[in-house]
Amino acid sequence: MISNIAAIITDLLHIFKIILLCELLFKFEKRRDNKRYIILFFLSVIISQIIYCRTADVLSLILYIGLMFVVFYTIYVIKMWQTLLLSIGLMFIASMVDVINMVMIDMVLDICKMPEFIFKDLIESMVSTFLIYSLLCVYRRKYYRRFNWINVKNSAFFTILVAIDTIIVLAIVVVYQNGTKEEKKILFAIIIVFVVIGMLLQLGTVFLLYSANSVYVENDSLMKKYLNDQKKHYEYLEIREEETKKFRHDVRNHMQMLYYLQKKRQYEEIDKYLELLNIRIEEFGNTLTVNNSIVDAIINKFYAEAVAKGIKLNIKGKLPTICNIDAYDLCTVFSNVLSNAMEAVDKIENKEIFLECRYTDEEIIILEKNKFKNVGQFKGKELDTIKEDKERHGFGINNIKDAVKRNDGIVNIEVDKEQFCISIMMKNTDL
């Protein structure tokens, strides 16, 4: 009975380790259904008991992979092929860490001449969980990057590489347990530990290379986006300057016409003429500025869209002349803030957005508020996207948080009935 309970807890802990790996490396949207989680828990207990009774065989492995598939598909909103690759890849990685701990504990037991005990597997799994959490916390602290989705080619390659490494390690472990003389077991165990560590370093290097490539592609895409926005902004300024020059050229003629109408006391004609002049001036458009060329390009792009959609976009304040925040992060923050706001007010009658920029000697502060149609898309302060393509949407606020985190900042979201407000603070120090 006790051994059954220990086996179930060990398997549940193994599932937790795999979910922990996923949470620390990826930022998939979660399904919000507590009933499913409860059913999933009992299903995990039942399958764990079946695997325990059958011992280790091919069917047990298939059952375990199937369970992990169900776990990921129940928790995350991701595609079927992503679910399958995550189930296999992360399960094998967690198993490799378990192998290191198993060999280390076996080596300690051999050295101390201690017999195996009933909670050995459970202790191995607990140590593995702590080790995985510690290593990934170090990774997150240094790189602070999680992925929105997985590239098919890279994820398949990584999963196959993990599977091959795991099979090799398990084969070595079988030889260690069954075909090694007692006097050489400790030496063989040390070799296994170093082999597994080498394989984990290999996998870590592959993952970091993929991470670096993903960062480069994303940065390049965003860089092209805001350079294109700046190009359109400058083209708009050139057109506006040309129109202004034309208008200035005709100002004297307009003044003479108004003087002539005033002399003739044709006041109604004066009113009509002034109204036409006012319309002509408004056609030049307004150029918004917050004292930063990158942000100016972004807000003017959204301002043009807002005018076309009948949305009133109010911009107030400015950014400091010396801005040490990376252009990539500025583009990420302002683009997502305004994009989310535009999408929200486009669905309601009160089409008005308020954006304010402030700064102190060391900080930049951004405040945005707008009304929105509350259809339950917010769970507390977290946005649960209501778009059909859930896998690639709903990351706007997460991307803002990531950019702000990189600049030692804070994001605060307040939702009051149908009023949304986001305040952002980022450090503007030259590190």
Q: How much is the pLDDT for 282?
A: 61
pLDDT at 391 over 50: no
Place of tokens 């990531």: 402
- Tokens linked to 13: 């802990």
At 253-280, the pLDDT tens digits run: 778 887 788 887 888 888 888 888 776 6
pLDDT at residue 388 is higher than 50: no
By three-state DSSP, how is residue 115 classified? coil
Three-class DSSP category at 203: helix
> What are residue 78's phi and psi, to 5 degrees?
-140, 165
Cβ neighbour number for residue 23 with a 10 Å cutoff:
15
What are the C-alpha distances in Å from 411 to residues 26, 128, 287, 317, 382?
20, 33, 28, 19, 12
Least confident of 169-178, 197-206, 354-363: 169-178
pLDDT for 28 equals 76
pLDDT confidence of residue 241: 66
pLDDT band, residue 318 (cuts 50/70/90): very high
2-43 pLDDT per residue, tens: 777 777 788 888 888 888 878 777 777 777 777 877 888 888
Backbone phi and psi for residue 360, each to the nearest 5 degrees, phi listed first: -120, -170
Which one has a higher pLDDT value, 378 or 229? 229
The Cα–Cα gap between 174 and 170 comes to: 6
How do residues 66-111 score in pLDDT, each as one tens digit?
A: 888 888 888 887 778 777 877 777 877 777 777 777 777 777 776 6
Cα distance between residue 424 and residue 336, in whole Å: 12
Cα 67 from chain centroid (whole Å): 26
The three-state secondary structure class of 310 is coil
What are the structure tokens assigned to 350, written together? 């009160």
Encoded tokens for 426:
């980022």
- CATH 3.30.565.10 domain range(s) in the chain: 288-431
Is the pLDDT score of 244 beyond 80?
no
Please write down the HEC assignment for all residues of 33-52. Answer: CHHHHHHHHHHHHHHHHHHH
- In this prediction, residue 187 carries a pLDDT of 74
**Whole-angstrom distance, CA of residue 170 vs CA of residue 176:** 10
The residue among 191, 211, 187 whose CA lies nearest residue 199 is: 191
Model confidence, pTM: 0.52
Structure token digits, residue 45: 């207990």
Superfamily (CATH H level) for 288-431? Histidine kinase-like ATPase, C-terminal domain (3.30.565.10)
CA gap 163, 159 in Å, rounded: 6
| Contact (CB, 8 A) for 34 and 75 | no
Dmax (CA) of the chain: 119
